Structures are given as structure tokens and as C-alpha cells.
Amino acid sequence: MPFESFGIPTPVALGAVAVLGYLFGRRRHLQTTELNQARRELKRARAVIRELEAISQHVRSSLTHHESSIVTFKERLASLARSDDGAAWQQLCDEAERILRPTQKLSNEIAQAYDEIRQQTHLLMSFTEVRTDPLTGVSNRRALDETLNNLLAMRTRYDTTFAIIIVDIDHFKQVNDKQGHLFGDDVLRSVAHHLDDCVRETDLVARFGGEEFVMVLPQTEFDGASILAERMRVRIEQKMRVTISGGVASIQDGDTPGSLLARADSALYSAKSAGRNRVFRHDGQRIEPVTGTTLADLEPEAEVLATLTPIVAAAKQATSDLAPKQPATKTTSHPA
């Protein structure tokens, strides 16, 4: 045997070759994972840079417009100063009031732009810190918590909106038990990859723990998040040998990160209880299914109510005007 000619027993030599092959394969896998992660972070960085450019252009445009208003006001002031007419000074006061209103608006815009720049800068800083799940390459729980806190602060100040989606891999424990944990790790990475491909560059995909993932969707309404969640579920079902269940919730007044996550988690629990491979959503009052619902069915109630509300109100007013006035009677209230 060739190995024996070097004084190495064949089993030992084969074992060494196997170890070297494993280490080389693992190194290549780690390099691929790091490359995918770097591409994802570069994609997000480009999105942040575009956001910063848009903010700076908006502020620059507002400043240019404001500067022209100030020049006009200055010329008007010089003209009025040469006049002794009292009405001219009244006009001056009116001009000052008109120039003050856009000044206040511009001040608010600059304050908002500062907050947005600070948020985008925070995202850029996060690229160099430990905010990435080492297994899947998506964001981790720390990045999720900080993103939710930032979006809540923006909502408090500027009344912005956002939504979240929680998904869970169905029967993942059985996958680990039957196929092994290495195969389970591959499933987690593949699911994370598909979820990340479904969202926008400015959205966040984070591993929430175990086989759960959370998507944070800035500037996304409740119905839009519901449609995206169902699209994710269908993609995983078509592309992989596993399925996912999902829960959707959108931010509401008085919410905390915990209460928002709790609503989405309740919707996820309902999807699991209904048989898995489904998406449910929680609107703050009730939990309802999204899977099996068409796009046209997602917003029927709001449109119908918007149409009927003025008609019903007019009918009630007409009935009230025609009805004879009744003397007031004393009523007894009942406990709620």
C-alpha cells in the first residue's frame, strides 16, 4: 500500500484524509456564509446611502426655497421702510407673519431630517458591530430590539407606521430528530435566505430564537404586511420541503415592542392551531386568517364602511328631525 511505504497505517492515513477533507469543506462553507453576509450588508448599506441622499436633497430644496422667500422679504422691507404710510407698516407685519410660517415648517423638517439621519447612521454603525446571527447571516435579537425601539420613537414623534411578521418553521423538531441537527441548520439558513429575498432593502429580517424569524417592515400598512406574509409562506412551500406558519401585527397607539410582538405571536399561535402552513393576523381586536384570502378581500370592510357611513348618518339625522320630541326619562345604568 502507498501509505504503508511511509510507515503510516492505512486506517490512520484514511482518517487523516477524512479530517483534512472535513476541515477544508468547513472552511469553504464558512467563506461562502461570510460572502453572503457581506453581500447582504452591502445591499443594506447602499439602501441607507440612498435614504441619506434623499434626505439631504429634500433639506437642500427646502433651504433654497426659504432663502428666496427671505430675499423677497428683505426687498419688501427696504421698500416699505421708505414709506411713512401706516398701512405700509401693517403690510410689513403681514409679510413677517407669512415668512414666519414657512420658517417654522422648515425648522420642523430639519429636526425630522436630523432624526432620520441619526437613525440611518445607527444602521450604518450596526454593520460593524455584533448584530448578526452567526448561523443564518440575518440580524439577531439585539438588532431587532434596537430597530423596534427606533421605529417606535419615530412613530411617537412623526406618527409613522410599520408592521411586523413572525414566522415559525412547522414541525422543525421532527426535522432535527429525523435528519439531524446539521440538516436542520441548513434548513434554517435556507429559510432565512428566502425570507430575506422577499423583503425590501430597508426591511429587517431577524432570527427571533430557535426556528422563529421576525420581519420588521417600516412604512408598511397592515394589509401590505399580510400580503407579504402570505407571499413568503407560498414561496417556502414551493421552494423547500418544509412549511412555515406566520402571524402579522401592525403598530398601534400605546404599543411597546413587547405588546406588538405579543399580538403577532398570538396570531402565529392561531395559525399553528388551525393546522400550520397558514398565516393569521391580529388587528388589536380579533385574529383572522390571511391564507386563502384574496387581495381584494383584504380591504372590503374599510371601503364599505367609508361608503355607507355618510349615508347612514344622513338617514339618522333625517329620522331624528322627523320624529316627535319625547320628554326625557330617567334611565338606570347597568354595570359593564
34, 75, 97, 211: the active-site residue = 211
* 207: CB partners within 8 A, 6+ apart: 133, 135, 136, 138, 139, 140, 141, 188, 192, 213
Burial (CB count within 10 angstroms: exposed 0-12, middle 13-18, buried 19+), residue 125: exposed
Which long-range contacts (C-beta less than 8 Å, at least 24 apart) are formed by 298-302? 298/223, 298/226, 298/227, 299/223
| Phi, psi of 61, rounded to the nearest 5 degrees | -65, -40
Q: Hey, what's the cell of 77?
A: 422691507
Q: Hey, what's the cell of 322?
A: 322627523
| Phi, psi of 55, rounded to the nearest 5 degrees | -65, -45
Contact 246, 232 (CB under 8 A): yes
Which of 245, 224, 225 is CA-nearest to residue 234?
Answer: 245
Is 211 one of the catalytic residues? yes
| Phi, psi of 334, rounded to the nearest 5 degrees | -115, 150
Total residue length of the chain: 336
| Cα–Cα dist 206/142, whole Å | 9
Pairing of strands 212-218, 162-169: antiparallel
Q: Hey, what's the cell of 17?
A: 484524509
Provide the β-strand partners of residue 245. Answer: 168
Which residues carry out catalysis?
Answer: 211
